[in-house]
Chains A and B, each alone.
Chain A
Amino acid sequence: MCGIVGLFLKDPALEPKLGAMLTEMLITMTDRGPDSAGIAIYGHPVRGQAKLTVQSPEPGKDFKSLADDLAAVIGAPVTGDIKDTHIVLHLPADRLEEARAAIATLRPSATVMSAGEGIEIYKEVGLPKDVAARFGLEKMSGTHGIGHTRMATESAVTTAGAHPFSTGPDQCLVHNGSLSNHNSVRRVLKRAGMTFRTENDTEVAAAFLTHKMHEGANLGEAMEATLTDLDGFFTFVVGTRDGFGVVRDPIACKPAVMAETDQYVAFGSEYRAMVNLPGIETARVWEPEPATVYFWER
């Protein structure tokens, strides 16, 4: 069991409240996943600018002077915004890959959680309410976001094993379920040049989508391919810079509820997660069909 929540805003007036709405949804899903929690939140991209979200088990040591050290390596201005065990580094978009590589050398114990123009990922072990409070999720704004509460089954309860997983720029994926062929798919993807940080099945699903899109598939086509190439139980919710997608395996035993109004599209593992959203009483509420890709883009 795990819990998933997601919000894709259509009405810009709700953007300042995105973090608050997602936090409430996430905490409601604590019963489904008390081990760890995580959130991917997307803001409006700033032209020419990119963001790296970096996590460290020793933030006091690793984040001190990190922005300056990184600026010296890439030869461009970098600013840092520390949030508990995470730091968001703002830098020129054309130096993103260079900066990402430099982090590994500058701070070997730190991990890049996400990279892109809009995305920031925060995840830690602990109760969702505590994780949300540590990062101040409630105060965050944005255009869309995905949250996950984890009850681990396929790999250890660690920060790296928490969701969302990000394996490509501005991409993220969260998962409720368990994959049975992740080891064989991981081997195929490794031969194709993908790298993995964990033994986690969900990381394989995220990398599978990234690889398909790298080969030229659009997100919809990549999500379709999960239905034939991934074996096991899954409800996936996927984020990109401009979009938000949902797909369930053909057996569809992992729950999913969606709601749509003029203001937003919402996803919840259960309806309970959505009861406080504005206008939910008159929203179109439905259960996404098995083996069917749903996708919204702005």
Chain B
Amino acid sequence: MQVFDLEAQGLRALNATLHGLSGQTNETAWEIVNPRGSHAIAVGVDAPVDITVRGSTGYYCAGMNKQATIRVKGSAGPGVAENMMSGTVIIDGDASQYAGATGRGGLLVIKGNASSRCGISMKGIDIVVHGNIGHMSAFMAQSGSLVVLGNAGEALGDSLYEARLFVRGSVKSLGADCIEKEMRPEHLRLLADLLKRGEADHLAKPEEFRRYGSARKLYTFNIDNAAAY
């Protein structure tokens, strides 16, 4: 286990050290202490390593992550795991706005609540939130899955493309072109897998969720709407 004291050693040294790791490294387990809400912790890691942050983080923690498993033993500020490519990011507490924004792959797990714009413009990432999510979540989401064990705020999935949204609790309102859809066996199988990987299979069953997706009327060109474009 490599221990890095962020307060003593500094952010640039931390990220430079983590960027120096490759798939061949023997230093596969890292612990970051004294994060004290700092910004950009463990951004741009590209190695199959396990990183644990002991405390809460500020803006953009674990952004652009590739391969690494990053756990935050606290809450995360805005933009956690933004544009993640692969790997896993697990937040024990809450996440602030635009968690997982534009993510292209990997898995983001938030064990508390996520606030507004969770999964905005997601492009392949899977996000599992144990609590609630705020307004405008999955706005213009293109692909990947968003699973919410609690409730969703206003305008869920506004201007949605092909991302799959699963909510167990209430949805305050659906955004433009987002509709409820039938839950078919393949969706239940997908959900069962996501709940298991999202450390939530002991908390909820796939059958308890409702599925939401795009009505495909907004992003598909329709000649009858030409005057409105």
Contacts and interface: CB of A to CB of B under 8 A. Distances in A.
Interface of A: 250-253, 255, 257, 270-275, 285-287, 289-290
Contact of B75 (A250, A255, A271, A272): A271
A272 B115 contact: no
A272 B36 contact: yes
B135 interface: yes
A252 B77 contact: no
A261 B6 CA distance: 26
Give the top 6 A-B pairs by smallest Cβ distance, nearest first: A272-B37, A271-B37, A275-B36, A287-B115, A271-B56, A272-B58
Interface in B72-88: 75, 77-78
B58 A270 contact: yes
A250 B36 CA distance: 28
B143 interface: no
A250 B58 CA distance: 22
**Chain B interface size, under 10 / 10 to 19 / 20 to 34 / 35 or more:** 10 to 19
B213 interface: no
A288 B175 CA distance: 23
The A interface is mostly helix, strand or loop, or mixed, namely: loop
Nearest to B112: A286
Interface string B87-124: 00000011011000000000000000001100000000
20 contacts: A250-B135, A252-B97, A252-B134, A252-B135, A253-B97, A255-B78, A257-B96, A270-B37, A271-B37, A271-B56, A271-B75, A274-B37, A275-B36, A275-B37, A285-B56, A286-B94, A287-B96, A289-B134, A290-B116, A290-B135
Contacts of B37: 270-275
A271 B58 contact: yes
Interface in B33-64: 36-38, 56, 58-59
A285 B97 contact: no
Contacts of A251: 116
Nearest to B93: A285
A121 to B, nearest CB: 28
Contacts of A272: 36-38, 58
Contacts of B78: 255
Contacts of B75: 271, 285
A30 B179 CA distance: 45
B116 A252 contact: yes
A272 B6 CA distance: 13
A290 B134 CA distance: 9
B119 to A, nearest CB: 16
Interface in B15-47: 36-38
A290 B93 CA distance: 20
A3 to B, nearest CB: 13
Given A252-B97, A271-B37, A272-B37, 4 more contacts: A252-B116, A271-B75, A286-B94, A290-B134
